[in-house]
Amino acid sequence: MHILQLIRYKNLLLIVLVQLLIRYALFEPFQIDVALSTSGFIVLIIATLCIAAAGNIINDIYDLETDKVNKPERVVIDRHISEKTAFNLFIALNVIGVVLGFYLSHSVGRSPFFSIFVIISAALYVYASFLKQTPFFGNLLISILVGMSILIVGIFDLIPAITEQNSGTQFTMFEILLDYAVFAFLVNLVREMVKDIEDINGDYKAQMNTLPITLGRERARYIAFIFSFFPIIAVTYFVVTYIYQQEIAIGYFLLFVLAPLIYASIKIFMAKTKMHYHHISNVYKIIMLLGMLSLLLYPFILK
């Protein structure tokens, strides 16, 4: 159970859910040409999970001192699992993920795609060891990588299956994935900024240089509040442009995506305590889940 806590299994389950929804709620109902067999798609999920789990472990290793202040009840390393064991697990998961990525790249006839797994693995290490301690750039990088967990399905399953006959349909599907990747990027970016404000005490003690430490808690809150409008604008544009004629889809996005986004923005503006920021962070996590579940609507939107 402690290993599951270390790799943050709940976040990993969200990745699995999203990738399964893309394949079986978006691609399959419309008989989209795909490059991966069922077993190949399972390998893609496992490879993604291994790289993501390794990133979570190295993040916890470097965050050990700050977590002892910010989240002492959640600390696993040095309490239940030694730092050496955690680091060895980080190496093992990275090796497995990269090897599976190498296999996938060759199986779809796109050998250069192998580099994607290497770059993501390296980026997660750079984030944990250096960029997380810098204002904003760490938030930006980890949010890009969250978006990549969605796009990687299109890269390995859609792009290699493109032909002259199906190129229009394939690119339409990829554009949908890009829209969801942008949504995930924007929501996670605001959430990371909120988490930095929540964790300011531990980060200050560890001599990190996050946005709230550099600019102050109040200025960071105002910046997070401004950034919280970006996903609202993006979702509104998506609804008005693409699904304005679909009543069920409009109702879902208004009730389960836009309304919570507006609620979170108001909460950021009013936030004062660590508990307030923790609540906002959880709200954005729920928004992410609800946004991804909207993939189930596409058989109705595109019918």
Q: Tens digits of per-residue pLDDT, 190-247? A: 999 999 999 998 888 878 889 999 999 999 999 999 999 999 999 999 999 888 888 8
Low-confidence residues of the chain: pLDDT under 50: none
- Other beta carbons within 10 angstroms of residue 99's beta carbon come to 14
Q: What pLDDT score does 246 carry?
A: 86
Distance CA 151, CA 173 (A): 11
- Three-state DSSP class for 77? strand
CA proximity to 14, closest of 288, 294, 260: 288
What span, in angstroms and rounded, lies between the C-alpha atoms of 275 and 70? 11
How far is 44 from 42, CA to CA, in rounded Å? 5
Give residue 299's pLDDT.
81
DSSP state of 35: S
The Cα–Cα gap between 87 and 2 comes to 15
pTM of the model: 0.94
Buried b (16+ CB within 10 A) or exposed e, 56-68: bbbbbbbbbebbb
DSSP code for 168: H
| DSSP H stretches of helix in 108-166 | 114-129, 137-153
Q: What is the CA radius of gyration of the chain?
A: 20
Q: Which segments of 63-134 does DSSP mark as H helices, in order?
A: 64-70, 83-107, 114-129
pLDDT of residue 303: 60
Say how many domains are in the chain: 1
Residue in the structure block whose two tokens are 């307030």: 276
Cβ neighbours of residue 47 closer than 8 Å, sequence gap 6 or more? 96, 97, 100, 101, 104, 117
- Nearest Cα neighbor of 157 from 43, 51, 49, 299 is 43
Long-range contacts of 237-243, Cβ-Cβ distance < 8 Å, separation of 24 or more: 238/179, 238/183, 242/301, 243/301
Q: Which amino acid is at 220?
A: A
Burial (CB < 10 A; 0-12, 13-18, 19+), residue 39, is: exposed
What range defines the domain where residue 144 resides?
2-301
Which 3 state secondary structure label does DSSP give 81?
strand
H or E element, residue 244:
none
